[in-house]
Amino acid sequence: MIRKVQTDEYGLLTDFLYEAIFIKEGDVPPDRAIVYEPELSLYVDKFGESSDDEALCYVLNGEVVGAIWVRIMEDYGHIDNQTPSLAMSVLKPYRHQGIGHQLLQAMLDLLAKKGYTGVSLSVSKENTVAIHLYQKLGFIPLQERKEDLLMMCYLGPLRHVGQSLIGIVAIPHW
């Protein structure tokens, strides 16, 4: 079941932020304290204080197993001050079951209903599973950087334009 994250659950976003860090097979995961570094803590610090903060979660058997949230911030996925940046993760035992797809679709629908024209994100170029999911739901790469891709999904009337571009523009499938 997908529902809004309750105010008293915002602390869970810190745990899901850590789970969102892409770790290559065989690499040692970073210390959990990394989420308190300024470049990551901005995803969760004072979450809920801005009208642009939105968070959804996936609950299975009473446990929150996935979360997706957006806010307008100057992060790795920043486009402009009208476009929210997205973060999401699903706990490892629940990955590859369609939960991420459902969460992402629900967030795109919510943002479109709220009148946003797009949402952006940053994803590791090596995270091919996530890139495929994002492309499947209409995200297009805007910029390839050293280690990541800046991607954008157009919403509302522009959503179909973004999806059409996927078929027209030669977008590499990493």
The reported pLDDT for the residue numbered 131 is: 96
Per the listing, tokens 């968070």 go with 55
pTM above 0.85, yes or no: yes
The reported pLDDT for the residue numbered 166 is: 45
Structure tokens that stand for 13 in this block: 């976003």
10-residue averages of pLDDT along the chain (174 residues) = 97 96 91 95 96 97 97 94 97 96 97 95 95 95 94 78 46 43
The reported pLDDT for the residue numbered 29 is: 92
The reported pLDDT for the residue numbered 92 is: 94
The answer to whether 59 touches 132, Cβ cutoff 8 Å, is no
The answer to whether 155 touches 119, Cβ cutoff 8 Å, is yes
Q: How many CA atoms lie within 13 A of 80 on its CB side?
A: 6
The reported pLDDT for the residue numbered 157 is: 65
The reported pLDDT for the residue numbered 30 is: 94
The reported pLDDT for the residue numbered 25 is: 86
Structure tokens that stand for 38 in this block: 């300024």
The reported pLDDT for the residue numbered 160 is: 54
**E strand or H helix at 160:** helix 159-168
The reported pLDDT for the residue numbered 173 is: 44
Q: Render pLDDT for 9-34 as a digit per residue (tens, 0 to 9).
A: 999 999 999 999 999 888 999 999 99
